[in-house]
Structure 1
């Protein structure tokens, strides 16, 4: 593919990443509140079960101390609780509270709204196809 091809996905993907990395946190913070709490909650939920600080660190690409600080703040805000792991009683497992589930649901609704706004001029089959491809890409990279 040459640089002018509309199907040149690599550069387009990174243009989107750069665009959103500069904008989404501020916009989401205004609508949802503490964005880092949403990131932690998504990391815990994506773990599929017995998440701990190490899981959050891995999911977010952080060192253990940074993830620990973020988890501590989410616990203090009432979005997470620490419990003894069912699989290893020496570990503390993280679980979303009702407040955490509500914040995560609001974040997902906000994300859907943003997607709908960004693709508002597209026909429905294109929106569905693009959404399916985005989900597939996220699943393939373990995001």
Structure 2
């Protein structure tokens, strides 16, 4: 029997909160950084699909209701990681974008994630590590599509 599903969800459960907290500890920033990392990462994922990023899209990306996502976006904007402005296409809508500080936080997050991947697969051959990385990237692309 293929136990990939349960194994995947054990990993998801384990890492769902640890990666953002790990970035926060390494940046030496305040306790709210984990939520900022989550929302900045969501905004980045959405911006890569093209177009303006709305709070409703951020809510769907994070699996939250709109008001929860709106509070997270506002808190990240207050810290300087995101900016909110009126949409070009509809002035009644608000859109969200990364700031330079948000990009720095995202870069630190990705650096931490890469280091953890190397650490977790340190006993693997370089071929196994590369194959697993390709499969993870493929799964992520499929899920995002």
Shift in Å, 1:22: 5.9
Check if 1:42 corresponds to 2:41.
yes
Aligned to 1:20: 15
Shift in Å, 1:13: 0.9
TM-score (structure 2 length as normaliser): 0.86
Aligned to 1:4: none
Q: For the Cα contact (< 8 Å) 2:20–2:109, is it kept in 1?
A: no
Q: Number of paired residues?
A: 138
Q: Aligned with 1:141: secondary structure?
A: helix
CA root-mean-square deviation: 1.7
Kindly tell me: are residues 25 and 41 of structure 1, through their superposed partners in 2, closer, same or farther at Cα, counting changes over 3 Å?
A: closer
Aligned to 1:101: 103
TM-score (structure 1 length as normaliser): 0.87
Structure 2 regions of 5+ residues with no counterpart?
none
Kindly tell me: are residues 110 and 22 of structure 1, through their superposed partners in 2, closer, same or farther at Cα, counting changes over 3 Å?
A: closer
Partners of 1:52 and 1:126 lie apart in 2 by: 39
Q: Aligned with 1:67: secondary structure?
A: helix
For the pair shown, which has the larger CA radius of gyration, 1 or 2?
A: 1
Matches within 5 A, 1:65-80: 65-80=67-82
Shift in Å, 1:129: 1.1
Q: Aligned with 2:7: secondary structure?
A: helix
Structure 1 regions of 5+ residues with no counterpart?
2-6
Q: Deviations for 1:34-69, whole angstroms, at most 9, x for unmatched residues?
A: 011111111111112311211110000001111011
Partners of 1:82 and 1:21 lie apart in 2 by: 26
Partners of 1:29 and 1:142 lie apart in 2 by: 25
Shift in Å, 1:86: 2.3
